[in-house]
Amino acid sequence: MTASQSVEEFVARIVKNLYDLNFNKIDETLEILQRMKKSQKEKHVVNYWKVVQCLGEAAIDMFARLLDNITKTSCSGHMYSNMNQILRLLEHCLSSMAVIRRALAYKEDLLAALFNGIRQNEDEELVMTCFRILYKLLLAGKDYCAAFVKIGILKDCNSHIKCRKGLYGIYPLLTVLYCTKILWVISEFGEQGTKGMIIKSKAYKELCSYVENVHSPVKGTECLVSEMHIIIARIKKCPKERTASGTTRTWVPKVLLYEDIGQKDHAYIFCSSPSCRKQQADGKKILYCGDCRLARYCNEECQKEHWRSDHREKCLKRIRKEKKT
Ligand SMILES: [Zn+2]
Ligand SMILES: [Zn+2]
């Protein structure tokens, strides 16, 4: 993003590159976003979160369409790496529960692409990206735990952990870490009896044996291994003990998401009105669109302005209605 470019212009450019399937440019964008996120300058970091929120609000439907097209039409050897690039960009956008819920309005296309991605062996990075996104989608609610189990996520976790035994590079470790996170979320927040099912599952047994056998992880990846240990300990914890100690089972997807994407200190949330995009202070009461409860505003003026400019067309409530008819 250049100094003279506004966030809206930068996002419009990304959308155009996606539309043109210009993968060189998409690659460039991924690098720029990574640099912005990691920047020492607060200004760049704020712009990063603004860009990804803005892109998520503007283009989720496009991501779903592109993924659907690529899997159906593409037969070139680039299919998986192209899919991976689009998904990596999508992953940046899944930076708030609002955008994740918006993405789930297109769950048929998205889940088809993601499960397709973890059920191929050609592109290891794609497998990892897909597991990371599946974890984020899972945070949207308990219903998805049951749905993922039905699609066969336990079998997928099992086979991926199994074939990574003895491999402790960054990709295998990250893939196994996200399998671990997925197993944990399902065990914790799935319906009654799910925890027992997870502990008895082959995937969980493979996971325990994978972690026990990590001897010399690649330098710099030790933290991934200790994270796995922490999560496995959480899975092991007996649910009865938890109730006895008075801990209630609360679903705090927001906290888990912020942990995952590195927004630990405070949330970066911006007004959804393109002409405003002001950062919302922590703890400040935010106004939501009454129809979708996803678009967020500083005040009624911003809400009205956005409704007039394009939210009338893009409000999720309207999209859901259209999909039903
Ligand atoms: Zn505003
Ligand atoms: Zn709305």
**pLDDT tens digits, one per residue of 161-189:** 999 988 888 889 999 999 999 999 999 88
Query: In the structure encoding, which two tokens stand for residue 205, read together?
Result: 């047994």
Distance 125 CA to ligand 1 centre (A): 38
Is a pLDDT exceeding 50 seen at residue 251?
A: yes
The residue among 153 and 239 whose pLDDT is bigger is 153
C-alpha distances in Å from residue 118, one per residue of 5, 46, 104, 245: 37, 32, 18, 38
Q: Minimum-distance ligand to the CA of 275?
A: 1
Distance 304 CA to ligand 1 centre (A): 10
Distance 10 CA to ligand 1 centre (A): 19
Each residue's pLDDT tens digit, 204-234 = 999 999 998 887 667 778 888 899 999 999 8
Query: Which CATH code, of 1.10.8, 1.20.1070, 3.40.630, 1.25.10, is assigned to 1-141?
Result: 1.25.10
Distance 284 CA to ligand 1 centre (A): 13
The pLDDT confidence band at residue 241, using thresholds 50, 70 and 90, is very low
DSSP-assigned letters across all residues of 232-291: HHHHHS-HHHHHHTT------HHHHHHHHHT--S---EE-S-TTT-PEEPTT---EE-TT
